[in-house]
Amino acid sequence: MAYEDSYKQVQSPKYECILFHVDDTLYPLSSGIAAGCVKNIEDYMHEMLGIEKCKIPELCKVLYMNYGTTMAGLRAIGYDFDYDNYHSFVHGRLPYDNLKPCPELRSLLLSLPLRKVIFTNADEVHASVVLSRLGLEDCFEQIICFETLNPIQKNTISNDVDDNVAFVVPKSSPSSTHSISSGTEIFDIIGHLFQANISDDEIKLPKTPVVCKPSEAAIEKALKIANIYPQTTLFFDDSIRNIQAGKRVGLHTVHVGTSQRVEGADYALENIHNIKEAFPELWESGKVNKVKHNGTLLETCVIS
């Protein structure tokens, strides 16, 4: 059955799948992983891309706000780099030791009679390390991550002309707009956004080749890859931008890490460990039906 056809025919069960973000959702923000990421991204921008230190915090913020991730923004404004190299630099030195196994959460997830899928902007290595550290590596049927959403751009060798640029940037550039050795110009996004008298209509930013949340296209792509339907999926994420984008795509949404429900979030859940107290119906309504499929006995979950 075509995806579009089955998409329209989804009915009765309220939830068939739970979609989980990873960072700061399956473990608390206080673990220090997020802070470590910020520091490592800033170091990468200085040490590997030659961006002046004093410009990095504002540039990070602007790129993150406009492109979803700093990496996506760096690519958009003209920097080229190996994605694996970026990920290993940014994630390689994180304080993973702060993440401890969560047997209670593992038991809860394993007993949850619904499909469970991971959806993260991070690369596969990071997602796997985090899930392994938390003891949750066997709780999910699929991991949708950077490589899933960006299969062609994983390496710098591709048909994308932007990917073939030799990449050398001087340690200190005279301004935020400069040319790298190949002649590719770095777009001065801060200068562009903050120039006087520019109206919202005139703000045209270069596009990024990176597919990531909170882009609605990225979310739709993830749903299609996992073959899940927004109407019957409950989406847990700590990022309000991701939650709001998920809501626009039609997902049921749970904003994790806060008790304050904001616009775009159907629910707020301070700690993922309280998932069963907050959503007991996910367990209570699951009935296991045994059906035959190609002669093999399968178990399927039916939500009443």
Of 77 and 245, the one with the shorter C-beta distance to Mg ion is 245
Closest contact distance (angstroms) between CB of 102 and Mg ion is 17
| 16, 24, 42, 80: residue in contact with Mg ion (rule CB under 5 A) | 24
Tell me the CA distances in angstroms from 99 to 24, 52, 123, 274, one per residue in order. Answer: 11, 33, 18, 18
Closest contact distance (angstroms) between CB of 214 and Mg ion is 11
Helix (H, G, I), strand (E, B) or coil at 258: coil
Of 23 and 42, the one with the shorter C-beta distance to Mg ion is 23
Closest contact distance (angstroms) between CB of 302 and Mg ion is 32
Of 216 and 284, the one with the shorter C-beta distance to Mg ion is 216
Closest contact distance (angstroms) between CB of 241 and Mg ion is 10
Closest contact distance (angstroms) between CB of 121 and Mg ion is 8
144-152, 186-194, 209-217, 238-246 -> range binding Mg ion (CB under 5 A)? 238-246
Phi-psi domain of 100 (left: phi exceeds 0; alpha: psi -120 through 50; beta: other)? beta
Reduce the secondary structure of 143-176 to three states and give it as a string.
EECHHHHCCCCCCCCCCCHHHHCCCCCCCCCCCC
Of 142 and 242, the one with the shorter C-beta distance to Mg ion is 242
Q: Which residues of 50-69 are buried (b: 16+ CB within 10 A; e: fewer)?
A: bbeeeebeebbebbbebbbb
Tell me the CA distances in angstroms from 121 to 67, 96, 203, one per residue in order. Answer: 12, 18, 26
Q: Token pair for residue 293? A: 């499929």
> Under rule CB under 5 A, how many of the chain's residues touch Mg ion?
3
Closest contact distance (angstroms) between CB of 67 and Mg ion is 16
57-65, 186-194, 230-238, 295-303 -> range binding Mg ion (CB under 5 A)? 230-238
Closest contact distance (angstroms) between CB of 31 and Mg ion is 11
The rounded distance, in Å, linking the Cα atoms of 219 and 85 is 25
Of 16 and 23, the one with the shorter C-beta distance to Mg ion is 23
Q: Does 23 bind Mg ion (CB under 5 A)?
A: yes
97-105, 180-188, 222-230, 237-245 -> range binding Mg ion (CB under 5 A)? 237-245
The torsion of the CA quartet 300, 101, 144, 160, rounded to 10 degrees, works out to -160
Identify the burial level of 260 via C-beta atoms within 10 angstroms of its C-beta, where 0-12 means exposed, 13-18 middle and 19 or more buried.
Answer: exposed
Closest contact distance (angstroms) between CB of 174 and Mg ion is 36
67-75, 100-108, 231-239, 257-265 -> range binding Mg ion (CB under 5 A)? 231-239
Reduce the secondary structure of 35-88 to three states and give it as a string.
HHHHHHHHHHHHHCCCCCHHHHHHHHHHHHHHHCCHHHHHHHCCCCCCHHHHHH
Closest contact distance (angstroms) between CB of 230 and Mg ion is 20
Of 24 and 80, the one with the shorter C-beta distance to Mg ion is 24
Of 16 and 24, the one with the shorter C-beta distance to Mg ion is 24
Contacts (Cβ under 8 Å, ≥6 apart) of 149? 211, 212, 218, 221, 222, 225
H helix or E strand, kind and range, residue 288:
strand 286-293
| 16, 42, 123, 238: residue in contact with Mg ion (rule CB under 5 A) | 238
Of 136 and 169, the one with the shorter C-beta distance to Mg ion is 136
Of 145 and 189, the one with the shorter C-beta distance to Mg ion is 145
Q: Which residues bind Mg ion (CB under 5 A)?
A: 23-24, 238
